[in-house]
């Protein structure tokens, strides 16, 4: 079945299919799918992906029976359980949660200038069936934890979330993805940071091998705002992390970092892209990966500096450790610079664990296995020790120990 | 930057191309356009055997099926392949002159203007020069000395006549004609170029050098260079280019193939200073070059060094296929773009054998409204145990209308291989400028010192004979700001 047929058949269950504007937009998208035959060779973002899983699928969506829960905890933090991408509406003097509206949809589809030909985002727009919008009100300091739960097997979730941090607000957002059923989630986060706001965004991904997760985020930063993202990928299933950031006004900053631990036949595709459109902005993109068995990973990073964006600082770093002969890692750190007063750099390394370091540890009586584990932990120590939240730090340590127990 | 600096930079970027002159020599041309007839014309003119003509026609049929590569970061109007002359040789060269006195004096004058040591200087410089002037070799020097050692250094057309077994065996073995559009085009219509064969265990005693020059209007130059270094041999080859000033774009699609057998070493150095177009970006050479070296044997080494200052469009990726165990590939590059020049250059290192090593040092300098891109690929295949790569690419931006881009592709499929890649982009460091000026250097000298330091790592890789010329070219491209 091709995309068009799947769409026509399930039109009823898809959001906003009555809206004329959106209909026209979707027809255009379908056209792209029909004419573009996913030429893998010319589209490197599709590297290592089994296209059949994503573009020739059975559409299935169920509205959850159990409603989502929003708790306003005592320590002024909120915990949200989002079921199949749905979240109940909620409102108090600090935050407001609503369903995603057709206006939000249009807003994104019209202003998406970063990457127009992202097939997964287009798929998300076509089959949108869930999503919510969270507004953090002015000058509030808030902590939110969202657990994303998928209830049944074979579900295809296409979810679009909007996060808006109003002026002067600060949000610490922890998102958990831990699913064990055989389904696919395609999630798009649209993040807007107003003046002087900040967002610390943590994504913890730990799905079983039959669950596919595609996460894309588009964040835009206004004056003096700060977007900080940390991705921890422990999944056994396929994960795609594509994160785009636009620095629109002076003194804004984006920090996109991630670590991934892959094993068996797993693959993961990662991309970060920061566009500098204003003076005095900073960006940082760091991804580290550990691959064992037959795991494959790609990481594309890109810094684009516009002509007006003088005094830019943009850094990229990509590091990969291959623990097995059959693992492979592909990285492409790109710089596109049109302004002259900038400091931009990238570094990229791929290799095995340092043999001298192993020798050092073994000469002090450690087994090879223990030495390897210590060196892997130290490889990502910087990322782990920078986590302020104790609870989260513990959680990630646990997951790391689980991964290390399988390292021989 | 203060206004004084800006003014100065402005005046430097207006520097005119010094080597823009045209020598009037009657040219012998076929009709314009690319078709089988043209190819047959070229082949007959060159007295080629039938197998060569078949090879050309076969390449032509491949070219018709392949589209031009689109991935580069370059902007240029579509090339009209039917509006180009594919062959041009100065008249009266069908019978080759025996010595220089028989050569058209105007030609000699042209070379003298460029400072090419063809007459007395050639003895002093100790360089054997095989000059290509509009496609046909004019004179070959030092042949005797090289012949004694068994080294073959001649034009490729001569090699086709005299050493068909070597040409048949190696031509197209590193760059197959069907590799991409420009290699197919070159294979179909190449007119001349150099052929070098170094026999077993021979160290070539001098730097071999060829000057290519484009002279006739609308003549694409399609050189084909083939260098074979047999077991245990060594050769250093120099290639330099300057072209007269022209208004229309000239297409240039050369193919260079290097083959290094066991324990052999090839060093290939290029200084490229073709006409880059005027201040408005009008004219200039389109330079689409395919250079590829194959380290076929164990312990072999291929080293590319290039200084790219000319051409309106540069599309060039000298690469190494490291097939033999312990083989080494090196790439050193300085690319300077000014005005509306565009350069998309870099390298490709493919590690196949065990313990293979590669090193990439690339320096890009953009001025005016130019775009300078480094594009490189390093890949470790599954069997490349203990392979090692180090890449460093730095860009320097002068002015806020130019662009510098870095697009590296890095792939590893072997867990004992180590890749390191570093890149940085910045403008000329104000602190360094201040420091130099404080010690009494003028702004000009200071910038010169800093840029020289920036490029030094690459320039020092050039052979002595070339280093002087390279520095001259760098200073022409950046004149004033370099010194």
Distance (Å) from the alpha carbon of A117 to chain B's nearest alpha carbon: 16
Nearest to B397 among A330, A332, A337 (CB): A337
Instruction: Tell me the domain boundaries of chain A.
Output: 3-355, 356-408
User: What is the average per-residue pLDDT within A263-277?
Assistant: 90
Rg over alpha carbons for chain B, rounded to the nearest Å, is 22
- Measured between CB atoms, does A372 come within 8 Å of chain B? no
Residues B247 and B170 grouped into a single domain: yes
Apex CA B110: angle with CA B106 and CA B114, to 5°?
160
Is B448 contained in some domain? no
Decide if B480 is inside a domain: no
User: Do residues B89 and B199 both lie within one domain?
Assistant: yes
Residue of A nearest to B394 (CA): A345
Contact A345 B419 (CB under 8 A): no
Is B223 a member of any domain?
Answer: yes
Q: Is the complex ipTM more than 0.90?
A: no
Please count the structural domains in chain B.
Answer: 2
How far is B184 from B187, CA to CA, in rounded Å? 5
Check CB contact under 8 Å for A350 and B401: no
Distance from CA of A304 to the nearest CA of B (A): 9
Q: Is residue B11 part of a domain?
A: yes
B358 and B404 housed in the same domain? yes
CB pairs under 8 A between A and B: 110
Q: Are residues B250 and B332 in the same domain?
A: no
B252 and B137 fall within a common domain: yes
CA distances to A16, B53, B216, B251 from B31, rounded to whole Å, are: 63, 18, 14, 16
Distance from CA of A316 to the nearest CA of B (A): 10
Tens of each residue's pLDDT in chain B, 483 residues = 456 655 655 555 555 555 555 555 555 666 777 888 888 888 887 788 888 888 888 888 888 888 888 777 778 878 888 877 777 655 444 444 455 555 556 555 555 555 555 543 343 333 444 555 444 444 455 667 778 888 888 888 888 888 889 888 998 889 888 888 888 888 888 877 888 899 999 998 877 876 544 444 444 578 888 999 999 999 998 886 555 545 455 788 889 999 999 999 999 988 887 777 777 777 778 888 899 999 998 999 999 998 888 788 888 899 999 999 999 999 999 888 888 888 899 999 999 999 999 999 999 988 888 889 999 899 999 888 899 999 988 888 877 788 888 888 888 988 888 888 888 888 888 888 889 889 998 877 787 778 878 888 888 888 776 676 666 666 666 654 433
Q: CA-to-CA distance for A167 and A19, rounded, in angstroms?
A: 32
Report d(CA B109, CA B80) in Å as an integer.
33
Say whether both B344 and B243 belong to one domain.
no
Residues B348 and B293 in one domain: no
Q: Does B339 map to a domain?
A: yes
**Nearest one of B223, B227, B408 to B302, comparing CA atoms:** B227
Subunit contact A328:B413, Cβ cutoff 8 A: yes
Please identify among residues 292-351 of chain A the ones whose CB lies closer than 8 Å to any CB of chain B: 307, 310, 320, 322-351
Q: How far apart are CA B195 and CA B160, in angstroms?
A: 9
Report chain A residues whose CB lies below 8 A from the CB of B424.
343-345
Chain A's closest residue to B375, CA to CA, is A334
A334 closest CB neighbour out of B400, B407, B416: B407
Judgement on whether residues B347 and B239 belong to the same structural domain of the protein: no
Nearest to B403 by CA among B119, B33, B73: B73
Find the CB nearest A340 among B397, B411, B420: B397
Domain residues for the domain of B164 are 3-265+277-300
From the list A328, A334, A349, the residue facing B406 with the nearest CB is: A334
Tell me, what's the pLDDT at B224?
Answer: 87
CB-CB neighbors (< 8 A) of A290 in chain B: none
- What whole-number distance in Å separates Cα of residue B295 and Cα of residue B259? 6
Task: Clarify whether residues B246 and B362 are in a common domain.
Answer: no
Chain B partners within 8 Å of A319 (Cβ): none
pTM over 0.95: no
B-side interface with A, Cβ within 8 Å? 382, 395, 397-427
Residue B303 sits at the vertex; the CA angle it makes with B298 and B308, to the nearest 5 degrees, is 160
Same domain, B146 and B61: yes
| Tens-place pLDDT, residues A48-77 | 777 777 777 788 887 777 666 677 777 778
Asked if residue B445 belongs to a domain, the reply is no
Any alpha helices (H) in A112-196, and if so which ranges?
Answer: 119-126
Would the CB atoms of B397 and A342 count as touching at under 8 Å?
yes
Nearest by CB to A322, which of B409, B412, B424?
B412
**Between A324 and A67, whose confidence is greater?**
A324
User: Does residue B21 sit within a domain?
Assistant: yes
> CB of B256 within 8 A of CB of B287?
no
The predicted structure's pLDDT at residue B29? 63
């Amino acid at each position: 079945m091709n995309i068009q047929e799947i769409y026509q058949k399930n039109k009823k269950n898809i959001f906003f299919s009555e809206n004329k504007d959106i209909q026209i937009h979707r027809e255009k998208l379908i056209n792209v799918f029909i004419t573009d035959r996913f030429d893998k060779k010319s589209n490197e973002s599709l590297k290592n992906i089994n296209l059949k899983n994503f573009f020739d699928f059975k559409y299935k969506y169920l509205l959850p029976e159990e409603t989502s829960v929003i708790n306003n905890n005592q320590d002024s933090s909120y915990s949200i359980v989002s079921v199949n991408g749905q979240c109940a509406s909620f409102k108090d003097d600090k935050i407001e949660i609503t369903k995603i509206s057709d206006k939000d949809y249009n807003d994104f589809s019209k202003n998406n200038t970063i990457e127009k030909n992202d097939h997964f985002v287009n798929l998300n727009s076509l089959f949108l069936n869930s999503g919510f919008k969270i507004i953090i009100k002015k000058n509030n300091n808030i902590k939110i934890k969202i657990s994303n739960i998928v209830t049944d097997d074979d579900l295809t979730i296409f979810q679009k979330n909007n996060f808006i941090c109003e002026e002067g607000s600060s949000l610490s957002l922890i998102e958990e993805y831990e699913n064990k059923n055989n389904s696919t989630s395609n999630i798009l986060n649209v993040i807007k940071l107003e003046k002087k706001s900040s967002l610390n965004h943590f994504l913890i991904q730990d799905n079983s091998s039959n669950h596919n997760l595609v996460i894309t985020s588009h964040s835009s930063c206004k004056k003096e705002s700060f977007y900080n993202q940390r991705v921890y990928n422990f999944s056994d299933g396929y994960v795609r992390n594509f994160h785009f950031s636009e620095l629109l006004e002076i003194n804004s900053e984006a920090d996109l970092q991630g670590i991934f631990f892959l094993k068996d036949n797993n693959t993961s595709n990662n991309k970060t892209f920061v566009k500098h459109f204003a003076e005095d902005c900073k960006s940082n993109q760091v991804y580290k990966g550990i691959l064992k068995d037959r795991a494959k990973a790609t990481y594309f990073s890109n810094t684009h500096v516009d002509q007006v964006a003088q005094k830019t600082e943009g850094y990229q770093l990509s590091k990969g450790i291959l623990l097995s002969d059959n693992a492979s890692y592909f990285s492409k750190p790109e710089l596109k610079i049109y302004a002259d007063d900038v400091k931009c750099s990238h570094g990229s390394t791929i290799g095995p664990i340092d043999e001298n370091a192993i020798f050092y540890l073994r000469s002090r009586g450690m087994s090879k296995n223990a030495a390897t584990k210590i060196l892997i932990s130290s490889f990502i120590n910087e990322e782990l020790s920078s986590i302020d939240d104790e609870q989260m730090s513990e959680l990630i340590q646990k997951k790391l120990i689980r991964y290390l127990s399988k390292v021989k | 930057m203060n206004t004084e600096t800006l003014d100065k930079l402005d005046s430097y970027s207006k520097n005119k191309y010094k080597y823009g002159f045209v020598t009037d020599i009657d040219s012998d041309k076929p009709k314009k356009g690319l078709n089988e007839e043209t190819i047959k014309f070229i082949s007959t003119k060159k007295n080629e055997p039938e197998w060569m003509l078949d090879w050309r026609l076969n390449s032509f049929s491949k070219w018709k099926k392949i589209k031009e590569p689109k991935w580069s970061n370059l902007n240029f109007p579509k090339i009209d392949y039917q509006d180009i002359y594919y062959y041009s040789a100065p008249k009266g060269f069908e019978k080759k002159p025996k010595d220089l006195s028989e050569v058209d004096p105007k030609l000699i004058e042209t070379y003298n203007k460029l400072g090419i040591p063809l007459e007395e200087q050639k003895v002093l410089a100790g360089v054997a020069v095989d000059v290509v002037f509009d496609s046909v070799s004019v004179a070959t020097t030092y042949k005797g000395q090289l012949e004694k050692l068994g080294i073959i250094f001649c034009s490729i057309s001569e090699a086709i006549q005299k050493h068909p077994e070597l040409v048949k065996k190696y031509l197209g073995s590193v760059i197959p004609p069907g590799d991409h559009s420009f290699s197919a085009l070159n294979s179909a219509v190449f007119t001349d170029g150099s052929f070098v064969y170094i026999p077993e265990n021979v160290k070539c005693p001098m730097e071999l050098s060829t000057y290519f020059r484009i002279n006739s209007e609308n003549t694409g130059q399609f050189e084909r260079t083939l260098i074979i270094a047999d077991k245990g041999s060594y050769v250093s080859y120099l290639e330099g280019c300057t072209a007269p000033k022209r208004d229309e774009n000239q297409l240039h699609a050369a193919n260079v193939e290097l083959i290094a057998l066991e324990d052999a070493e090839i060093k290939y150095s290029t200084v490229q200073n073709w006409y880059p177009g005027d201040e408005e970006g009008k004219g200039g050479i389109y330079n689409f070059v395919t250079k590829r070296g194959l380290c076929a044997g164990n312990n072999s080494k291929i080293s590319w060094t290039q200084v790219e200052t000319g051409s309106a469009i540069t599309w060039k990726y000298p690469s190494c296929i490291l097939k033999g165990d312990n083989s080494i590939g090196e790439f050193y590059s300085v690319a300077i773009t000014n005005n509306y020049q565009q350069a998309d250059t870099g390298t490709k290192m493919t590690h196949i054998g065990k313990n293979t090593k590669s090193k990439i040092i690339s320096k890009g300098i953009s001025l005016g409204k130019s775009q300078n891109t480094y594009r490189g690929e390093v890949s470790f295949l599954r069997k490349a145990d203990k392979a090692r790569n180090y890449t460093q690419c730095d860009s320097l931006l002068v002015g806020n209308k130019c662009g510098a881009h870095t697009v590296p592709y890095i792939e590893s499929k072997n867990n004992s291989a180590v890749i390191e890649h570093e890149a940085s982009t910045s403008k000329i460091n104000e602190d360094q400028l201040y420091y130099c000026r404080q010690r009494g250097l003028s702004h000009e000298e200071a910038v010169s010192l800093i840029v020289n330091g920036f490029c030094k790592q690459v320039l020092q890789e050039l052979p002595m004979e070339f280093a002087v010329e390279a520095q001259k070219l760098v200073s022409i491209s950046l004149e004033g700001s370099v010194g």
